[in-house]
Structure 1
Amino acid sequence: MDKAWMKLPRYSPEYINGVEVFLNYAYTKGNPQGVEILCPCAKCHNAFWRTRAVVLDHLIGYGFEKGYDVWVRHGEGLINLMDLNGDMDDREDAIDDIDGLLYEQFRDVAQEENGVGEGPNEDAKKFYNLLEDAKQELYPGCKNFTKLSFTIRLYLLKCLHGWSNASFNALLVLLRESMPQLNIPDSLNKTRGMIRDLGLDYKKIDACPNDCMLYWKDHENDTSCHVCGAPRWIENVEGDRQLEENKKAYKISGKVLRHFPLIPRLQRLFLCSKTAGSLRWHEEERSKDGKLRHPADGEAWKDFDKCHPNFANDS
């Protein structure tokens, strides 16, 4: 299917006609919920069900979500589209490159096997465990998924669609009961363990219910907010009684901040050969003709480089 119209101006007749083609396809080949389909605009990100008229307005007003060239949520399959295009580069990008992911994430460990570098023992254990999972078939004879790739895809769906922990656990139980040969983790905790080993984890930090402060660093062990005095823990009489009976200390935080550390994620981006080049592009490949083409051409960027010359010298 020709999709060149997706790159045209959003208010051009060709683009609007193309959106109508998409809507006809989504309502015939996709899986509409009554009169609604998932809206793939840059604002809704395939997360909200909308009527045809609303989707039409959104796609003209906001355009398609960036990268949504394959309408996988509206009836189009990856394999069929690749066969139609015959584009080998797109074919390689569409396939889950689990081996490449593991190598980029644990490059030191992989190089140690060849006598190049020296990787930490803990990382080596994670690498070998994940490598083993990446080799295991999802079920006997399965060619499209491994245990690791399927688990990652399943957890991605949980995050994208807001599945509760209980519903995810129930889904795992149902899948294992209906297909005993299915090689998947038996709980959310084990699934998260695999995701955590890939370096995609986050850190929980208790916060004041009124957003005054974080219980972090010097305040890590505080029991109340030093600004408003609000208690750190939720009072639960029934729970307190149970705690006294069980003599087990377990407290519930009033509010929790989930922090995704920036530095480890930047390190992973630079570990990946495909993204490292893009991250250095502003210094190594950008046109430096004095015209304002990129944030690096702006005065704010230049002032920052002057204040931090050592940082600026290493792209």
Structure 2
Amino acid sequence: MDVGDKSWMDLRRSTDEYIHGVNDFLDKAFERASQGDEILCPCKKCFNCYWHCRNVVEDHLICHGFVHGYTKWVFHGEGFSSRNTPHPTNDDENFDRQDGIDKLLQDTFRNVVDDLRHEGVREGLSEDAKRFFKLVEEGKQELYPGCKNFSKLNFAIPLYLFKCIHKLSNVAFSDLLDLIKEAFPFAQIPKCFYKAKKVIKDLGLHYEKIHACTNDCILFWNDTAKLDKCSVCGSSRWKNVRDDLTNKVTKIPAKVLRYFPLKPRLQRIFMCSETSVAMRWHDTERPKDGNLRHPADGEAWKDFDSLHPDFASDSRNVRLGLSSDGFNPFRTMSISHSTWPVMLMNYNLSPRICMKSEYIMLSMIIPGPSSPGNDIDVYLQPLIAELKELWEVGVETYDIVTNQTFMMRAALLWTISDFPALAMLSGWSTKGKWACPTCNHSTYTQYLKHSHKMCYLGHRAFLPHDHPYRRDKKSFNGKEEHKVAPTPLSDVQVLEELLEFNNVFGKGQKKRK
């Protein structure tokens, strides 16, 4: 099938030219890429995941249109003499699972790899892109000759998920692989747990394990990576675990931070044509009619753009928000345990998708059993270091839409949290006499001696001077309010106040004082 002129794909679907183009596409697709009397449906609903006959595909393309960015018809014979694509079987469970893996591959890898192949730019690719290319090639290899349900890759992924769901140990999982390998010696099955885990890592789902002091004093990271004891409180990096069966003692880390690197995940966004286009939504597709529908319409975003025009000049630069809160992962309130995930939101995307779970990035998991408190800064070090690099230098990123590399930068615009978590993330105490971060030292407080609680009044100071509530004594504290609203601290004032502040991290240190 030749590339030809595909401008008709952007026309209204009711026009004769569009309908003629669909019929021409179907003629060539059924000639080159059919399985029996069916082809993969490239409409926006099926996303090249489901097989249908000609009449159904034609109806879908006229009703829904082609999936966005599908201009090189690699799943329908363009550029290939033949295809060996798995066809659905009567086993619905296997087929649904295969569809999910295939869609993951299509979304993340196949678009970029096919485009790179067609453009002839495979030489000089980054290591990530080469690894993706290898993954896709493995994804097309049959698990064994004649296998239609699984490829080498889409068998390894659900197999690894099976281990996680059923909580198999590494040894048990490796023994299971040995048994399957012995039963099916001709199948391309991972040799051991490490090989299966490496597939997940190559997909970009890996994380770094960073050991931490049990008292939250330091991370054993960078300069302190080789220490066996905390340089602040002297606590051991390890704890001994005894096996009751063998009576063998094993050293394991006392506390482990799981950190998900940010740069490769942001780079991967631009390696799929659909998400790469979505990253420009705030600049190219956002209605600019003065209505508030996205953070880009707000004053904070506009002020940031005016202060940093070099960053704002490229709409692909990433704007992030950070959120964190504690939860009990053990599904019971009888156990006091607080694990803190740190999440990053991508505000380049449209409001329709930027808050969906699949577009929110898990940055790190801070271990329990207790809340890190103000020591959360210790755990945020790897993320802060990476954000600084992304702000000051950037990272070279391949953009599949322009078929060029660019220096992608990122900025953390704000944090989102409840009031107690705000104290941890900002360092401002949200309890006591000066609990309000806006009023700061001008916070009006009153202690209620019978309930032993602090009461915060004085909010009428933020009303206009002639507002009737300012003179209303009965509804409030029995007094009129004539104070002027306090002025929030500027960034310069905050820096001056913290300039000589010596922050001591670690729960062990605080207990000694």
Q: How far apart, in 1, do the equivalents of 2:167 and 2:261 lie?
A: 22
Q: 2:102 aligns with which of 80, 96, 115?
A: 96
2:213–2:219 CA contact under 8 A, matched in 1 = yes
1:138–1:184 CA contact under 8 A, matched in 2 = yes
| CA shift for structure 1 position 194 | 2.6
| CA shift for structure 1 position 149 | 1.9
Matches within 5 A, 1:228-239: 228-235=233-240
| CA shift for structure 1 position 99 | 6.5
Matches within 5 A, 1:77-226: 87=60, 96-97=102-103, 98=105, 101-103=108-110, 110=116, 114-115=120-121, 118-120=124-126, 126=131, 129-159=134-164, 162-226=167-231
Q: How far apart, in 1, do the equivalents of 2:131 and 2:101 lie?
A: 23
Partner of 2:85: none
Does 2:262 correspond to 1:256?
no
Matches within 5 A, 1:32-71: none
1:105–1:268 CA contact under 8 A, matched in 2 = no
Partner of 2:329: none
User: Identity, % of aligned pairs?
Assistant: 49
Partner of 1:52: none
More moved, 299-308 vs 215-224: 299-308
1:138–1:145 CA contact under 8 A, matched in 2 = yes
Partner of 1:267: 267
1:212–1:225 CA contact under 8 A, matched in 2 = yes
| CA shift for structure 1 position 205 | 1.1
What amino acid is aligned across from residue 118 of structure 1 in structure 2? Answer: G
* Superposition CA RMSD, Å: 4.1
C-alpha distance after superposition, 1:124-168 (max 9, x if no partner): 864564354223211221223210122123324444665443343
1:224–1:230 CA contact under 8 A, matched in 2 = yes
Q: How far apart, in 2, do the equivalents of 1:265 and 1:231 lie?
A: 34
Q: How far apart, in 1, do the equivalents of 2:297 and 2:169 lie?
A: 45
1:111–1:117 CA contact under 8 A, matched in 2 = no
2:142–2:152 CA contact under 8 A, matched in 1 = yes
C-alpha spacing 1:211/1:153, structure 2 compared with 1 (3 Å)? same
C-alpha spacing 1:94/1:125, structure 2 compared with 1 (3 Å)? closer
Give TM-score scaled by structure 1 length: 0.57
C-alpha spacing 1:124/1:313, structure 2 compared with 1 (3 Å)? closer
Partner of 2:282: 282
C-alpha spacing 1:136/1:203, structure 2 compared with 1 (3 Å)? same
Q: How far apart, in 2, do the equivalents of 1:148 and 1:166 lie?
A: 22
C-alpha distance after superposition, 1:188-246 (max 9, x if no partner): 101122333333322221111233321122322333223433211224699xxx99xxx
C-alpha spacing 1:106/1:140, structure 2 compared with 1 (3 Å)? closer
Q: Which has the larger radius of gyration?
A: 2
2:152–2:189 CA contact under 8 A, matched in 1 = yes
| CA shift for structure 1 position 100 | 6.6
C-alpha spacing 1:284/1:80, structure 2 compared with 1 (3 Å)? closer
| CA shift for structure 1 position 169 | 2.5
2:143–2:187 CA contact under 8 A, matched in 1 = yes
Partner of 1:313: 313
Q: How far apart, in 2, do the equivalents of 1:257 and 1:82 lie?
A: 51
C-alpha spacing 1:211/1:267, structure 2 compared with 1 (3 Å)? same
- Return 5+ residue gaps in structure 2 as ranges: 1-44, 68-74, 76-98, 316-513
**Structure holding more strand per residue:** 2
1:134–1:149 CA contact under 8 A, matched in 2 = yes
Q: How far apart, in 1, do the equivalents of 2:274 and 2:223 lie?
A: 39
C-alpha spacing 1:131/1:286, structure 2 compared with 1 (3 Å)? closer
2:140–2:151 CA contact under 8 A, matched in 1 = yes
- Return 5+ residue gaps in structure 1 as ranges: 1-68, 71-77, 244-249
**Structure holding more helix per residue:** 1
C-alpha spacing 1:153/1:273, structure 2 compared with 1 (3 Å)? farther
